[in-house]
Structure 1
Amino acid sequence: MAELDPALQDEISNLSTRTTALIDAIRNYSGGNIAQATNDLLAAQAETANTIDARETALLGLIQQQTDKPVPSLMLDFLERIYMRGARRLEHGIDPYSILSVNRGSSKWVWGAQGNLTEVPADTLAYEYDPNTGAPLGHLNEPTSTNEIPECNNWSVNNNEVDRPGGADVFPGGKSGTAPDRIVPTAVSADHYVRQPNNPDNTNADISYYLHFKPQGYERIEIRVNGFGGSVGATFDAGSESVTWTGPDTTYARIIPLPDGWYRCEVAGTATDNGSWVHVFVMDDNGNKTFTGDGTSGIDVYWGQLEVRNAPTSPIWTNGSTETRQSDNIRVLADGWQNRRQASVFVEMSVKAGGDSSDNVLTLGAGRGNERMVLSKEGQIYVTTPEGNSFNGNSYNLDLHPGMTRYALSYEEAGPMHVTIDNGANSRSPGAISNKYLEVTRMTLGTQHTSATGVINGYIRRVHYYPFMMDQADLEALQ
């Protein structure tokens, strides 16, 4: 935003002075009777309300003239937790739930601002923060997923190869009343591992697994998801914070540092054969799985998760049976912020690994005949109206993981459409609304109106809706 014009600053100062003087006059009122005082007070209140309203309107116009970018009629900022709509955008304290409808039939776990893994109730925005820096990441939007391990914090061991002496370090947050497990390789030359059940048939299936791990003398582990020598696996080195794929069917692996020396180790792939156990091997300093332990050094482990999908999602606690976390669904009902004839929309997201290219960023519409415009994470736009359907194929080759992606689109009813992605680096004018009319009754984020399918896995950071069509150059400048 440009610096305020001196005239605007004078307007603000005059408004403050007049309001203060009026309040002082009311407080110091001493003439007449109580009835007269009451009438004067009511008159003063009415004058104040009318004056402030008029001044706010004037100020808003001046502020808009001072900005380099237009002011949206709907602004959803999931990073700063600022939500605004309509004309009175000097008020920044609107409760998000007066604007948003958040549907998620189960709780979910995210990293909070204090660096702890925290449970968020059902039907509640899941704000997540970087666990180490505290930087806001946005609302964590995820599809439905199931932890296939019936007891996520139960570890099976061979007592001849591994000791469990207790005394593991505390995990930052997590399930109340639970604790990590200390795993110590014995003084026997052997493979030292823990394991968890892998019950689904993995043959030709996408599978992913993660656990929390902390070195206690050994910095390396290897995870084999589908069996002792399973085809989906990787080694994780906490010292160098690096990973190495060790299975031919591995497609993804990542080590994520967490507070207090903990790490989240993730691995995924498309298994070509079945395996009934997930194995987690302790490795010595030379990278050997077969070695003789010293009976003291080991690792701490906490909360494993197996999912039948191509990348892991947020933690799902289980205690005796598998558990499913429902998908996120955010809707914004049209209540005056929308323009039926034309509009521009800006979305900032951080798309995580996994999912499909057709996963949805946002959907506009749901008017006369469930009409809608759908924008996918790879830039595809699908429009369906009573006048007919239109599909514009993806013309982008985007690297959406793990960076941030900005989308902007604008359209005019029965007219042209413009799209930009990634700071204007990819732009086009597909003309998807030609000879069609789009009535907007709601906006849906991260999925479609019609069903919880194609739900995007990532962070919704910012959404701006402008009630007018921008040209392509303005869309690019907006980013």
Structure 2
Amino acid sequence: MTWQALPWQSSLQAAFTTIWGSGVSPIPSLDLNFTLGFLDPRITGASLATLTNAAGNIAYKPHNFVLWSEKFDGAAWYNNGSATASVVADRNGVVGKGVRVTATASNGDFYQPYTSGAAQSVTNSLWIRRISGVGVVQMMSPANVVQTVAVSASWQQFTVNSTSVSAGTSSTAYIGVRLVTSGDVVEVCEASGVLGPLQPYYPTTGSAYFGPRFTYDPVTHAALGLLIEEQRTNLLTYSEQFDNAAWTLATASVTANATTAPDGASTADKLVEDSTAAVTHRLYGAATVTAVAHTLSVYAKPAGRSIIALRTPGGVLSYFNVSTGTVGSVPGPHSAKIESVGNGWYRCSVTWTPTAGAINVGYDACQVDGSSTYNGDGTSGIYLWGAQLEAGAFATSYIPTTSASVTRAADSATMTGSNFSSWFNATQGTLYVEGGGSNAAGSARLVGISDGTTLNRIINYLSGATQLAGLVSTGGVAQANPTVNVTSAASSNKLAQAYVVNNVNVAANGTLGAADTSATIPTVTLMRIGADESGTGAILNGTIARLRYYNTALTNAQLQALTK
């Protein structure tokens, strides 16, 4: 297949001239720039998780738990026998996407119970307008408590926030309206229920909507692109409520909601030392673990003390200075890391392999590096937020918890069917990707094209901590696997792989690999981003900033130019 420029693509030609120089230059048949915060609608697959938003705050990714948010005549929506519902136009005049609710008796309810995940703060949103009547109109909170709203004849958006009804990992929330007076009529549209504060509206059908994770640098606020992470579970409960009984205090107290947290809300607690002399001042929580690598982390900020120690079983302490952003004393075989997340906050983490069973882990306020025993003054301490304990050799994005541990599913981004074949060339092509990840030891994928098996595939992956590679496999036989060394596979790199029969090569950051001149090209049917052929392994644990596909095999010189 030979690419032919279309009229609408003429503006792209000038942009690509800066890469290729003068003359005719290839233009990609697929060009996804994830730093712009847009996911091509042909890519499917997502789950609920957190990200760093453009303001540098930790927030939930786009989502909407409410089902059939624009189809109100389905089984997801109910009335209590004192109201009727009929489908009408929404606030934009689109017929069939709104609902008219009429009270046939007093306290006529129209509502939906929906699953909101763990029992946390949930925000409901509805657009409502009055059609007739003057009686009280109420909106259901997630906790199924009605609140009066001042509706008018014009469309208005109303929100109500509360904790969902039941505890655990699968809580029920409610959304809807109550008309107190018989005969009153209102219209409703755009139903939304989200964890945390109000988000933009995302329509749903028969399942909840979970959007992509476009994440940003918490300090510079630069766009990093699409975040892809493996499944992880936060084993610690009440990860933001250190005053909860799930946390045990030792010669210390907790002041709840003492300062602004990394999520931009006043939810960070202060661990306050008491005035006891020559003791430790700390808190700890319990979890059950297996005998594999685990990582304990927390967000910390000075509050009179600048040193925090992360405590693992056996009283093993790893020290961090959250004024200077440096790792202090760390006993082997533990490893530690500290990362600035802006506004004076640091995320401190320590990795070790525990003995399987029930353990305690925690956080100590300290006066100096290397010792957690000192004379408290009764007022100083450390601000804490976002405690996390997860099985894995590095910390992943924060997973909030309340009364139970919470599992974040692996991210998934896939193109199949005509969404794939519309831009793909079966005989030759070039994959280009900008990104990096933490899972170099697991041959993590940047991007891969396959038939859903390991037999037939064309993949770009991290082949080591300092190496990138491009594998072509046909019928289970490796045809080519050129590599290029880089400074760090975890950093954002530019990698391009060209393939055609008997000619496969890669280039990374302007450096060319060694071409393989004996290769057949496999038959493939789909593309996965940041994961292996099954979609469940070799997870990148990193970000993809840009992804392009050219339906021609670029030359070696073009590969180098493209990746500089």
Question: Partner of 1:428 in structure 2?
Answer: 514
Match of 2:172 in 1: none
**Does the residue aligned with 2:293 lie in a helix, a strand or coil?**
strand
User: Are the aligned partners of 1:236 and 1:244 in contact in 2 as well (CA < 8 Å)?
Assistant: yes
User: 2:280 matched to 1:337?
Assistant: no
Q: Which residue of 1 aligns with 2:451?
A: 366
Asked whether the equivalents of residues 440 and 462 of structure 2 are also in contact (C-alpha less than 8 Å), the reply is no
1: distance between equivalents of 2:288 and 2:541? 25
Task: Provide closer, same or farther for how the CA distance between residues 274 and 391 of structure 1 changes in structure 2, counting only shifts above 3 A.
Answer: farther
- State the identity %: 25
Counterpart residue number, 2:54? 113
Query: Is the 8 Å Cα contact of residues 444 and 540 (structure 2) preserved in structure 1?
Result: yes
Between 1:393-402 and 1:144-153, the stretch displaced more is 393-402
Residue aligning to 2:394: 311
Give the aligned partner of residue 237 of structure 1: 321
Write out per-residue CA displacement over residues 32-79 of structure 1, whole angstroms, 9 at most, x where no aligned residue: xxxxxxxxxxxxxxxxxxxxxx99369459648855433211101111
* Alignment of structure 1 residues 84-99 onto 2, 5 Å: 96-99=39-42
Q: 1:448 aligns with which of 510, 532, 555?
A: 532
Structure 2 CA distance for partners of 1:234 and 1:125, relative to 1, 3 Å: same
Find the counterpart in structure 1 of residue 338 from structure 2.
255
| 1:320 paired residue number | 403
- Measure the CA separation in 2 of the matches of 1:382 and 1:418: 9
**Range with greater deviation from structure 2 (264-273 or 124-133):** 264-273
Q: C-alpha distance in 2, partners of 1:77/1:320?
A: 39
Change (3 A) 1:323 1:392: farther
Tell me the CA shift for residue 456 of structure 1: 0.8
Structure 2 CA distance for partners of 1:254 and 1:478, relative to 1, 3 Å: same
**In 2, Cα distance between equivalents of 1:65 and 1:213:** 45
Structure 2 counterpart SS, 1:316:
coil
* 2:29 aligned residue (59, 69, 73): 73
User: Aligned pair 1:56/2:23, yes or no?
Assistant: no
**Cα contact 1:249–1:271 (8 A) shared by 2:** no
Q: Gaps (5+ residues) in structure 1?
A: 1-53, 83-95
Query: Aligned-pair distance for 1:375?
Result: 2.5
Distance in 2, matches of 1:239 and 1:110, equals 24
Number of equivalenced pairs: 397
Residue 195 of structure 1 corresponds to 284
State the TM-score, normalized to the length of structure 2: 0.64
Q: Secondary structure at the match of 1:334?
A: helix
Match of 2:236 among 149, 154, 172: 149
Which stretch shows the higher mean deviation, 359-368 or 403-412?
359-368
Find the counterpart in structure 1 of residue 215 from structure 2: 128
Distance 1:408 1:443 in 2: 16
> What is the Cα deviation at residue 179 of structure 1?
2.5
Residue 526 of structure 2 is aligned to residue 478 of structure 1: no
Distance 1:183 1:320, change over 3 A: same
1:188-233 alpha-carbon deviations (Å, 9 max, x no partner): 12011111223113x4x211111111211001101123x1423xx5
1:348 and 1:323 mapped to 2: Cα distance?
Answer: 31
> In structure 2, do the counterparts of structure 1 residues 397 and 224 end up closer, same or farther at CA, with 3 Å as the change threshold?
farther
State the secondary structure of the residue aligned to 2:560. helix
Give the distance between the partners of 1:389 and 1:150, measured in 2 at CA. Answer: 47
CA shift, 1:271, in A, is 4.2
CA contact (8 A) 1:345 1:409 kept: yes
| Distance in 1 between residues matched to 2:392 and 2:256, nearest whole Å | 33
User: Matches of 1:58 and 1:296 in 2, distance apart?
Assistant: 64
Greater share of strand residues, 1 or 2?
A: 2
CA distance in 2, matches of 1:355, 1:209: 21
Are 1:280 and 2:363 matched, yes or no?
A: yes
Change in Cα spacing, 1:430 to 1:310, as seen in structure 2 (3 Å) is: farther
1:365 Cα offset (Å) = 2.9
Residues 141-220 of structure 1 aligned to structure 2 (within 5 Å)? 141-155=228-242, 161-166=251-256, 168-173=258-263, 179-189=267-277, 190-201=279-290, 203=291, 205-220=292-307
CA contact (8 A) 2:296 2:350 kept: yes
1:296 aligns with 2:375: no
Greater share of residues in helix: 1
Judged with a 3 Å threshold, the aligned counterparts in structure 2 of structure 1 residues 286 and 400 are, in CA distance, closer, same or farther, namely closer
What is the letter of the counterpart of residue 100 of structure 1?
I
State the Cα RMSD in Å. Answer: 3.0
2:319 alignment partner AA: T
| Residues 1:467 and 1:318: Cα distance change in structure 2 (over 3 Å) | same
Q: Secondary structure at the residue paired with 1:474?
A: helix
CA distance 1:98–1:292, change in 2 (3 Å) = same
8 Å Cα contact 1:110/1:128 also seen in 2: yes
Residues 320-375 of structure 1, C-alpha deviation per residue, up to 9 Å, x if partnerless?
22211111111133242111111011110032x35634111111132899722223
Work out whether 1:408 is the aligned partner of 2:496. yes
* Aligned-partner residue type, residue 309 of structure 2: E
> Which whole-Å CA distance do the structure 1 matches of 2:352 and 2:538 have between them?
20
Seen in structure 2, the aligned counterparts of structure 1 residues 391 and 244 have a Cα distance that, compared at 3 Å, is farther
Normalising by structure 1, what TM-score? Answer: 0.75
C-alpha change, 1:473 and 1:270, in structure 2 (3 Å) is farther
* Secondary structure, aligned partner of 1:192: strand
For residue 304 of structure 1, report the CA deviation from its aligned partner.
0.7
Shift of 1:289: 1.0
Distance 1:368 1:241 in 2: 44
